[in-house]
Amino acid sequence: MKLLKKGAEADLYQTKWQNSKAILKIRKIKNYRNSLLDLKIRKQRTIKECQMISFVKSFGIPTPLIYFVNLKTTSIMMQEIPGTPVHDLPESKIVELSKDIGKLVGTLHKNGVMHGDLTTSNFILFKKTVFVIDFGLSQNTIKSEDHAVDLRLIKEILNSAHAKIMLSSWENFLHGYKSIVGSAYYAKITKLVSDIESRGRYAEVV
């Protein structure tokens, strides 16, 4: 087993499952956390992630296949998507793909799913298809406030990690998002995003 990535909450290994390439995602014990809290978080997220990865396929979101789940080791065996994270693509490509990402997020929200961790590392481009991964923080929710939190997060990521292309990619994202959820819902959500931002510390208050 080869260690591919030490992520924030899990380690990713490249391995095999029935002769096909696979990824083993292990949420390891974190000694710095209280053990009760640690176990609760790891279990909850492992379960949520597999349920959601399979569920969102039903309305056409490209995600990896889940092969096997082990709750004792809080690990998931899943299909490997041998593409490139959007985060690592050239800037012009990120701008272009932002529209597709907007559509994907719109589809999730339309079907009552909040991703909870929308960063450019969690979208993988493979053969012209954008796959969505990492549903550990996702929730089944139709609350528009929750959906707005999703949008605010990706906006924050674009603003901080992709500052140079922030404006064009955010515009493309919103364009894609609007095309799926419709103008009325779009207006409601973008208003909520501004509301959340205005609650931020020391935000410009008019």
Partner 1 sequence: MLGLGIESTAHTFSCAIIEKKGNNGKILSDIRKIYRPADGEGIHPREASRHHIENSSIVLSECLKKANITIKDLDIVSYAAGPGLGPCLRVGAVVARSLSSFYKIPIYPVNHAIGHIELGKLLTGATNPLVLLVSGGHTMLLAFLNKQWRVFGETLDITLGQLLDQFGRSIGFASPCGKNIEELASTSSNYVTLPYSVKGNDVSFSGLLSATKSVAKKSKTDACYSLQETAFAMISETVERALSFTRKKELMIVGGVAANKRLSEMLQNVCKRHGCKFYVVPIQYAGDCGSQICWTGLLESKVKQGTLLKDTFVKQSWRLDSVIVDY
Give catalytic residue positions: 117
Query: Judged by CB under 8 A, does residue 202 bind partner 1?
Result: yes
> Contact region for partner 1 (CB under 8 A) — 49-57, 75-83, 90-98, 155-163?
155-163
Query: Judged by CB under 8 A, does residue 191 bind partner 1?
Result: no
**One-letter identity of residue 106:** G
User: From residue 137, how far is each of 21, 102, 163, 171, 205 by CA, in Å?
Assistant: 25, 19, 25, 25, 31
d(CA 61, CA 59): 6
Tell me which of 2, 127, 128, 199 binds partner 1, using CB under 8 A: 199
Q: Between 127 and 201, whose beta carbon lies closer to partner 1? A: 201
> Contact region for partner 1 (CB under 8 A) — 6-14, 69-77, 105-113, 179-187?
6-14
d(CA 26, CA 201): 35
Burial class of 52 by CB neighbour count within 10 A (0 to 12, 13 to 18, 19+) = buried
User: From residue 109, how far is each of 45, 78, 94, 130, 152 by CA, in Å?
Assistant: 19, 24, 22, 17, 14
| CA dihedral of residues 145, 188, 161, 61 (deg, nearest 10) | 80
Query: Judged by CB under 8 A, does residue 49 bind partner 1?
Result: no
Q: Between 16 and 40, whose beta carbon lies closer to partner 1? A: 40
Tell me which of 3, 18, 19, 31 binds partner 1, using CB under 8 A: 31
**Minimum distance between the CB of residue 150 and partner 1, rounded to whole angstroms?**
8
Q: Which residue ranges make up the site for partner 1 (CB under 8 A)? A: 5-9, 30-34, 36-38, 40-41, 87, 116-119, 121, 137, 149-150, 152-153, 156-157, 159-161, 163-164, 196, 199-205
